[in-house]
Amino acid sequence: MKKHLLVTVSEKKDALYAVRFVGHFFTNREAVKVTLFYTAPKPPSVWEREKTLDGERQMEQQAKAHEAKGRRALEEAKKELVQMGFPQDQVETKLIVRRVSKVDEIIREGAEGLYDAVVLGRRGLSRFEEAFDESVSRKLLEEKCNFPVWVCRNPVLDRKDVLICVDGSDAAYCIVDHAGFILKEEPDHKVTLLLVRRKGKISTSEADEIVSKSKDILLRHEFPEERTRIQVVDDGNIPKTIMEHAEEEKYAVVATGRTGMDRGRLKKMFMGSVSQALFREMERSVLWTCQ
């Protein structure tokens, strides 16, 4: 069964992080279909009494300019993927004019298109910029989505392997299942199931149960057991431990669940969770999340 990815595209440089990651990560490209997705801005509304022939022409020209810019960005992205070995007939392009916000359009397309993941590029930010960040990737991760999201922030493209963070939550088991499906036909990648325990929070027997269930989910996708490793680490700073492991072993991907989506907009666990810390601080490895 082919994997189908929705890769968002814009004219910004960071959007190509997502395209280049997909192009380099997969070696069995025949098993992957990619839809490159661009949302063109909607022209500003004009009140009926303010309409003039010149005004309408100006709006039409503006809309055509936005669409032309989008088509150029899509063609450039497709050209990159084809040059990296993706068959042309497995790379589609799709441009729409926004009816709602950019984030809502991505969520709608991701859900209606039944994609296996939505892939985003993201630029690095300074601490000051981070405090006021209104990026699409941040907003998307704060919304309820029925699909996994991949965030590519300046990834190192020659890295391999996937570090999956498990903790016994439904979201963590979801990301294990997702990774198993994505990786089952990718012989170049190994998987490490990492459980980081805070002192007194998870017993040895509970940890054994969590990693055993996670491994069973992975193997259910016929992912080879010999390419699977398990690590249980005791440490109070879970995000720091995860990022240290990712850097030491040079993982291409860090995969984690994200929870707390039903706690209200100002109290979402994501805003102070492990996934939020990884989203904010991690570079070089791509973040896969599932809720």
pLDDT digits (tens, 9 = 90+) for 181-199: 999 999 999 999 999 998 7
Model pLDDT, residue 123 = 63
Give yes or no for a contact between 91 and 82, defined as CB atoms under 8 angstroms apart: yes
Band of residue 128 on the pLDDT scale cut at 50, 70, 90: very low
Cα→Cα distances 74→46, 99, 140, 165, Å: 29, 20, 21, 33
Average of per-residue pLDDT across 123-140: 54
* pLDDT bucket at 130, cuts 50 / 70 / 90: very low
Distance between alpha carbon 92 and the CA centroid of its chain, in Å? 19
Say how far apart CA 136 and CA 156 lie, in whole Å: 22
| SS3 labels along the chain | CCEEEEEECCCCCCHHHHHHHHHHHCCCHHHEEEEEEEEECCCCCCCHHHCCHHHHHHHHHHHHHHHHHHHHHHHHHHHHHHHCCCCHHHEEEEEEECCCCHHHHHHHHHHHCCCCEEEEECCCCCHHHHHCCCCHHHHHHCCCCCCCEEEECCECCCCEEEEEECCCCHHHHHHHHHHHHHHCCCCCCCEEEEEEECCCCCCHHHHHHHHHHHHHHHHHCCCCHHHEEEEEEECCCHHHHHHHHHHHHCEEEEEEECCCCCCCCCCCHHHHCHHHHHHHHCCECEEEEEC
- Name which residue leads in pLDDT, 131 or 106: 106
Residue 113 has pLDDT above 60, yes or no: yes
pLDDT, tens only, 230-264? 999 999 899 999 999 999 999 999 999 987 544 44
Residue count of the chain: 291
pLDDT attached to residue 137:
81
All domains in the chain, ordered by first residue? 1-155 (3.40.50.620), 156-291 (3.40.50.620)
- With cut-offs at 50, 70 and 90, classify the pLDDT of residue 143: confident
pLDDT tens, residue by residue, 213-227: 999 999 999 999 999
| Alpha-carbon dihedral 149, 153, 155, 160, rounded to 10 degrees | -30
What contacts 24+ positions apart, CB below 8 Å, involve 216-225? 217/173, 217/176, 217/177, 217/180, 218/164, 218/176, 218/179, 218/180, 218/191, 218/193, 219/180, 220/177, 220/180, 221/177, 221/180, 221/181, 221/183, 221/184, 222/184, 223/180, 223/183, 223/184, 223/191
pLDDT band at 273 (very low <50, low <70, confident <90, very high): confident
> Which of 41-45, 72-76, 202-206, 269-273 is predicted with the least confidence, judged by mean pLDDT?
269-273
pLDDT average, residue stretch 116-144: 67
**Rounded mean pLDDT of 11-37?**
92
Backbone phi, psi, residue 14, to 5°: -65, -20
For the segment 127-155, the average pLDDT, to the nearest whole number, is: 73
How large a percentage of the chain has pLDDT more than 70?
Answer: 86
The C-alpha angle with vertex 138 and arms to 134 and 141, in degrees rounded to 5, equals 145
**At 70, is the pLDDT very low, low, confident or very high (cuts 50, 70, 90)?**
very high
Judged against a pLDDT cut of 60, whether residue 135 lies above it is answered with yes
pLDDT digits (tens, 9 = 90+) for 98-109: 988 889 999 999
Q: Who wins on pLDDT, 45 or 191?
A: 191
96: nearest Cα among 147, 36, 54, 45: 36
Terminal C-alpha separation, the chain:
23
Six token digits for residue 151: 């965030």
